[in-house]
Amino acid sequence: MKKILVLMLSLILVFSLVACSKDDGGSDGGLIKVGVINNDPNESGYRTANDAAMRSTFTKENGYDANFYNNNDAAQQIATAQQMIQDEVDYLLLSPASTTGWDQVLKDAKTAGIQVILFDRMLEADEDMYVAAVVSDMAAEGKTAVDWLASQGLSEYNIIHIQGHMGSDAQVGRTGALDEKVAAEASWSYVTQQTADWSEETARTIVQSVIDAGTPFNVIYAENNGMARGAVAALDANGITHGKGGDVIVMGFDSDKWAFESVLSGSWNYMGLCNPLQAEKVDKIIKDLEKGTKPAQKIIYSDEPGFNCDTLTQADVDKFGT
């Protein structure tokens, strides 16, 4: 009896695994064969939206025979890329987990006549090695955000800076702009500068510890929305007002719909848009390439404005929210 129970449990688990990894195998003639290498969709809401868009764009109905792979480990990504080159895909779509280490993959792809298109994340390589890169300009995002913050005209900026995963494209870009400003202005200073590794929970703990220490602060600059949310939870728990008309300015990044709504409701002050939806653009580039048209530019930046609680409209939320 016990054994049967055990067996059933094992079966349930196996089935659930099979269910979530259902993939259509086999390739029909006439389909464009693409290999998509992306990061872990569970990493953040941003990534979830990004991955979902890729998967819904590169479908059979849309003329693609696509193979998806998700991992946050660059070494695994590289191994899979090599496998995909072996499998002779037509296009290799890449969102690299690290900026380095891709030389061999790019070289092999070139030799095999496979076109590489980067999306969302850049890597360090000669421009000849890929056809196009559809990416976010993280440094520009940071600059837009810092400029907006400066425009608020506070007499003192005491900032809690919650960083993302250290060394990632987004963290480097968004931190760079703020670091520069804090170094340049006497009235700008960090209360604390800590990485929460994209974790909402860690962000909450960091802000709580600042509150417990009793150090005054008036800005929270969180490098993604999840961490901003964690920070706000700590503020709420301690009765510190925030957002429009509050004591603390709250800033986040990315494109989550709920975050837009927080800005719209005035609970947050600012959200820097980081558009996860590159799929459409990548799709267009491939379709053009198939017709023989090369993209006009190598690096295609998404248009990524910042939104604040004074100017955000419901129309923006509907347009950009994911």
Sign of CA dihedral 14, 20, 22, 23: negative
Residue pair 282/38 in contact by the 8 Å Cβ criterion? no
Considering only CA atoms, which of 101, 98, 100, 112 is closest in space to residue 35? 112
Q: How far is the CB of 265 from another protein (least distance, A)?
A: 10
Considering only the stretches 90-98, 104-112, 235-243, 301-309, report the one whose residues sit in contact with another protein under the rule CB under 8 A: 235-243
**Residue 54 structure tokens:** 């890729």
Outline where 112-199 has alpha helix (H): 138-150, 169-184
- The correct pick among 86, 189, 241, 311 for binding another protein (CB under 8 A) is 241
Q: Is 20 in the site for another protein (CB under 8 A)?
A: yes
- The correct pick among 79, 129, 233, 299 for binding another protein (CB under 8 A) is 233
What is the distance in angstroms between the CA of the first residue and the CA of the last residue of the chain? 48
Residues between 81 and 110 with contacts to another protein, criterion CB under 8 A: none
Closest CB to another protein among residues 167, 305: 167
Distance CA 220, CA 201 (A): 15
Closest CB to another protein among residues 52, 129: 52
| Residue 204: count of CB within 10 angstroms of its CB | 21
Spatial neighbors of 74 by CB under 8 A, at least 6 apart, are 96, 97, 98, 101
Q: How far is the CB of 86 from another protein (least distance, A)?
A: 26
Q: Is 62 in the site for another protein (CB under 8 A)?
A: no
Q: Is 185 in the site for another protein (CB under 8 A)?
A: no
Helix, strand, coil % over all residues of the chain, rounded to 5: 45, 20, 35
Distance CA 101, CA 18 (A): 32
Q: How far is the CB of 214 from another protein (least distance, A)?
A: 7
Distance CA 205, CA 83 (A): 42
Site map (CB under 8 A) of another protein, residues 203-222, x = contact: -xxx-xx-xxxx--------
**Residue 254 structure tokens:** 């990315």
Considering only the stretches 91-99, 107-115, 223-231, 297-305, report the one whose residues sit in contact with another protein under the rule CB under 8 A: 223-231
- The correct pick among 76, 192, 288, 302 for binding another protein (CB under 8 A) is 192
Q: How many residues bind another protein (CB under 8 A)?
A: 56
Q: Is 51 in the site for another protein (CB under 8 A)?
A: yes
Q: Which residues bind another protein (CB under 8 A)?
A: 2-3, 5-6, 9-10, 12-13, 16-17, 19-20, 40-45, 48, 51-52, 72, 166, 192, 194-202, 204-206, 208-209, 211-214, 226, 229-230, 233, 235-241, 256-258
